[in-house]
């Protein structure tokens, strides 16, 4: 069943998307890049708030920033997000450096945090890397886009290619997600591929992804995801 991930830039937005029906609240600073990170003090505050929530309680994730694919840089950034108490940590698989070495360096963290590898549809994602992601003990893998000015995920990958990614990740036992400037119109087609969640930021905001979350847009996307999964 496909869920709804909403990326938020502040504590206020965290409460808004929870009220709007998000299944995963994703702490991300869009002004700092595709996977811009919150500062550690704000992460701790969000974790404290999240711990007070009762049912329905969304999952909580956070991004580690747009790091170079160097094992030390990626591990340090991921350790710091996990140490703030965030249960799900999302990190980018950029085209530079040694992705396999980064995954291997993170294996020891997988007992303390659920790690998600974020592949980018506009950076020629190498699905063969999914095996290494699973071997390192990651919790999930998803597709997103790195360049938010270059169109959405479906502009860079066709339905069959996205479907192959989802299906390979599932076969490996990974939680699967799809994002990348998605809009309401993308929901029915992508839900057909049965990812575990669809992720949004820009479509939830007024004034673009670096703008502010609009509760009306959150509710519309949330309703569309729920409707599509009923129809699937």
Ligand X SMILES: O=C[C@H](O)COP(=O)(O)O
Q: Can you give the binding site for ligand X, defined by CB under 6 A?
A: 5, 7, 26, 28, 144-145, 148, 179-182, 199-203, 209
Whether residue 170 lies in the annotated active site: no
Backbone angles phi, psi at 125, to 5 degrees: -60, 135
Euclidean distance between CA atoms 140 and 115, whole angstroms: 6
- Report the alpha-carbon distance of residue 95 to residue 93 in Å, rounded: 7
Query: Which pairing describes strands 205-206 and 197-200: parallel, antiparallel, or unpaired?
Result: unpaired
Candidates 28, 114, 148, 226; catalytic one: 28
Between 54 and 87, whose beta carbon lies closer to ligand X?
87
Cβ proximity to ligand X: between 107 and 228 the closer is 228
Q: How far is the CB of 5 from ligand X (least distance, A)?
A: 6
Nearer to ligand X by Cβ, of 172 and 210: the residue is 210
Q: Pick the catalytic residue from 90, 114, 148, 226.
A: 90
Q: Which is nearer to ligand X, 195 or 199 (CB)?
A: 199
Q: To the nearest whole angstrom, how small is the minimum distance from the Cβ of residue 53 to ligand X?
A: 20
**How far apart are the two ends of the chain, measured CA to CA in Å?**
9
Residue 143 region by backbone torsions, left for phi larger than 0, else alpha for psi between -120 and 50, else beta = beta
Active site residue 114: no
Task: Answer whether 140's CB lies under 8 Å from 175's CB.
Answer: yes
CA distance 136 to 109: 10
CA–CA distance, 219 with 131 (Å, rounded to integer): 36
Taking the complex as a whole, the smallest distance from the CB of residue 203 to ligand X amounts, in Å, to 6
Q: Which active-site residues does the annotation give?
A: 28, 90
């Amino acid at each position: 069943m496909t869920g709804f991930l909403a990326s938020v830039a502040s504590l206020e937005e965290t409460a808004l998307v929870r009220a709007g029906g998000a299944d995963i609240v994703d702490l991300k600073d869009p002004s700092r890049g595709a996977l811009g990170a919150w500062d550690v003090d704000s992460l701790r505050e969000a974790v404290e708030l999240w711990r007070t929530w009762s049912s329905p309680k969304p999952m909580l994730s956070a991004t580690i920033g747009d790091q170079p694919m160097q094992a030390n840089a990626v591990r340090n950034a991921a350790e710091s997000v996990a140490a703030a108490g965030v249960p799900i940590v999302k990190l980018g698989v950029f085209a530079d450096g040694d992705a396999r070495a980064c995954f291997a360096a993170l294996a020891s963290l997988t007992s303390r945090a659920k790690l998600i590898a974020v592949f980018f549809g506009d950076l020629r994602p190498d699905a063969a890397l999914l095996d290494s992601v699973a071997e390192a003990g990651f919790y999930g893998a998803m597709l997103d886009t790195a360049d938010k000015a270059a169109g959405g995920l479906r502009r860079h990958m066709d339905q069959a290619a996205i479907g192959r990614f989802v299906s390979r990740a599932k076969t490996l036992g990974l939680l699967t997600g799809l994002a990348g400037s998605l809009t309401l119109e993308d929901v029915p087609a992508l839900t057909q591929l049965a990812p575990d969640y669809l992720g949004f930021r820009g479509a939830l905001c007024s004034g673009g992804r670096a703008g502010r979350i609009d509760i009306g847009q959150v509710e519309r996307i949330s309703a569309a995801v729920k409707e599509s999964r009923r129809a699937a």
